[in-house]
Amino acid sequence: MNLVVKMRRFAGLTQTDVAKILKVSLQTYYKKENGKTPFNDDEKIILKELFSKDFPEVTIDELFFNQKVSKVESEVN
């Protein structure tokens, strides 16, 4: 479960509520929340502002770019 889902649920919002806030269909929001379609920059800002009421320290990076990347070592010849 990603952070957007957790924060949405904490705020007591449904997917329908957030879809209306973002002015997209429920199906579009579902795809975005489940990673099938990316959020655009304007939507990221709206969600950051929406969630900052309950989580004032949250950043856009934490919400959307907090994926773990494994370190890959390359051989140097």
pLDDT tens-place string over residues 40-68 = 999 999 999 999 999 899 888 888 886 55
Tens-place pLDDT, residues 7-18: 999 999 999 999
Q: Which residue would you say has higher pLDDT here, 43 or 70?
A: 43
Instruction: State the pLDDT at residue 66.
Output: 64
pLDDT surpassing 70 at residue 74? no
pTM: 0.78
The residue among 16, 59, 56 whose CA lies nearest residue 8 is: 16
Choose the CATH number for 3-64 among 1.10.287, 1.10.3470, 2.40.128, 1.10.260. 1.10.260
Among 62, 68, 25, residue whose Cα is nearest residue 44: 62
